[in-house]
Amino acid sequence: MSGLFEDDPPQDDTLPPPAGPGLFGDDFPAAVPTAAAPSAMPYRVLARKYRPANFDDLIGQEAMVRTLRNAFATGRIAHAFMLTGVRGVGKTTTARIIARALNCIGPDGNGGPTIEPCGVCANCTGILADRHPDVVEMDAASNNGIDEVREIIEAVRFRPMQARTKVFILDEVHMLSKPAFNALLKTLEEPPPHVKFIFATTETRKVPITVLSRCQRFDLRRVRVAELAEHFAKIAIAEGITVQPGALDLIARAADGSVRDGLSLLDQAIAQAESEVTGEAVADMLGLADREAVFDALEAVLAGKPADALAITDRAHERGADLGVLLADMLELIHVISRLKSVPGLRDSAELPEAERSRGAALADRLSVPALARAWQMLLKGISEVEIAPDRRAAAEMVLIRLCHVSDLPPPGDLVRRLIANPSAIPSGPSTPPPNGGGARAVAGGGMQMAAPAPAPPPAGPQLRQFRDVVALVAEKREALLHAQLLHSVHLVRFAPPVIELRPEPDAPRDLSSRLAALLTEATGMRWTIAVSKEAGEPTIAIQGNAADKARRHVVADHPLVRAILEAFPGARIETVHDANMDAYGLPQLPDLPADMPDFAPLEAEPAGEYFNDDPLEEFDA
């Protein structure tokens, strides 16, 4: 039997030989692979497999690449870079390419910094494999404290071990704490010549301006849909996958400018496709209605055909599409059509898919800007309703039904022109002419603007002809609290400049009269007296203004043209009534004074009528 102390240990062919050298340095014989050993390489997702290795592979960032090329060519390379942009546009990838460009030594080992790293030298391969000792990449989202930044500051003191330049890449740098940012400032401003910093962030507003000012900033823009679709088509060819152009357009639009998001969607579409990736399959995967269905739905509602529109939504719902997303697609299509109408040159642009260029251009020719604007507003409001509705499908269908029923309504401007051109269409009935003998005209938002002659230019200096002029002067002097108190808490008893008699409300401050007297004396150069009385006096200016506004609304609502508009647009209401003959408080203005009439009574003049009575008066002289 084989024991513990036997010279020859038992041999077991099922155990693999140890990996690595023997005890005395000699190599073990190579293991013979068995049939069960795995030989296939693990799958790499498209976003990692096709990550750009040089600047030529970056798409959509021509401005940044051009600036970096010139910087490397002239040797004007900044010590710190700030890369900003939405997720997936290539911020971290750009940082790694810059790190290789700084440290590439070329195939012969004698090269210097270059905008086109060779990819074969030791520095390039080490950085590509994320194992270079002199390129430190840190996620600031999970390492955002001051201790981590102190480690970076300590490492900056030492020269690179292998590369030419030590590079620190901080991703999501906006997540650093305030103390961490403060600790980094001095090193960031004056780093050693062998150190470069590269920051990446999606939230530039959260980065302190003191950090931004020490970096050379590059804003990586969203990649256009056409560029994304072309890029994805090249990758599909390299993978040997057939993808329909419509499917590529859907994926590119869903990517929202992010290359990484688009490649993840393309990966998912390829995984579920049997032979080729179709537009219908991608729409099902994304929960979208296909583009033709969106066009059909929009044409149906704008033509006032609710049955056709609801049939389209039924088919989309059966296929699993979210009708809220369908409304969002229709909103986006309204925007495209509006752009086509405003910029006809877009009809020949390769940036738009064929469906937008053909059917979209046809709709742009048929629809007016007011009709497009009305559809935009209703869809915008409808999408918010769908988000809070208990039944998203029912809410979306109600939005489409509303759109169908307003499709044949003329815009308010056209309706007014028709009524003016055809007075017999105005319903008969009693009407009251607007005050001051002016006419009325409709304005945007349902309000009415009372026509009036152009006001005369205001005379120089304060014209205090009534108590409201005094209140307006207080507003001009930016005394907001005193102005509010004069509007709501003061009743005018008598106005005889330079004497004003008031009855304040109980909640008015006791120093109101003295403050008003001091302000008037300073503004006019005359001594004013503000007396406090117990007489009832007039209603407050706020109450008078509200009553006048109510009366104007009643007059305007009874105007035949307004009644015709309100009947033509059920649910419309009068929001505001503006009258140029009214002052800022909604009360009639006084006519201008003759040139020879003094603004104020002389100091020696007696007040008209009996001013003092048996009631005690509290006077305040400034």
pLDDT digits (tens, 9 = 90+) for 267-298: 888 888 777 888 878 877 876 656 778 888 88
Lowest mean pLDDT among 163-167, 397-401, 521-525: 521-525
d(CA 350, CA 102): 37
pLDDT digits (tens, 9 = 90+) for 324-383: 888 888 898 899 888 888 887 777 776 676 667 778 888 888 888 888 888 898 999 999
In whole angstroms, what separates CA 78 from the centre of its chain? Answer: 32
Report the candidate in 386, 329, 575, 590 with the shortest Cα–Cα distance to residue 472: 590
Contacts of 112 (CB under 8 A, 6+ apart): 105, 164
Count CB atoms within 10 A of the CB of residue 190.
8
Provide mean pLDDT across the span 458-484.
79
pLDDT at position 257 over 90: no
pLDDT digits (tens, 9 = 90+) for 137-181: 888 888 888 888 899 898 888 898 888 899 999 999 999 999 999
pLDDT at 198: 93
DSSP string covering 419-462: HHH-GGGSPP----PPGGG--EEE-GGG-EEE--PPPPPPPSS-
pLDDT at position 115 over 60: yes
pLDDT at position 530 over 80: yes
pLDDT at 426: 55
Question: 431, 557 in Cβ contact below 8 A?
Answer: no
pLDDT at position 613 over 80: no
d(CA 274, CA 280): 13
Instruction: Name the DSSP class of 352.
Output: S
pLDDT digits (tens, 9 = 90+) for 37-89: 445 578 888 888 888 888 888 888 888 899 998 998 888 889 999 999 888 88
pLDDT at 1: 43
pLDDT at position 416 over 70: no
pLDDT at position 400 over 50: yes
Percentage of the chain modeled with pLDDT above 70: 78
Lowest mean pLDDT among 201-205, 486-490, 541-545, 583-587: 583-587
Average pLDDT of the chain?
A: 78
Provide mean pLDDT across the span 473-494.
87
pLDDT classification of 465: cutoffs 50, 70, 90: confident
Provide mean pLDDT across the span 535-549.
87
Domains of the chain in sequence order: 47-219 (3.40.50.300), 225-286 (1.10.8.60), 291-405 (1.20.272.10)
Question: 577, 551 in Cβ contact below 8 A?
Answer: no
d(CA 201, CA 295): 38
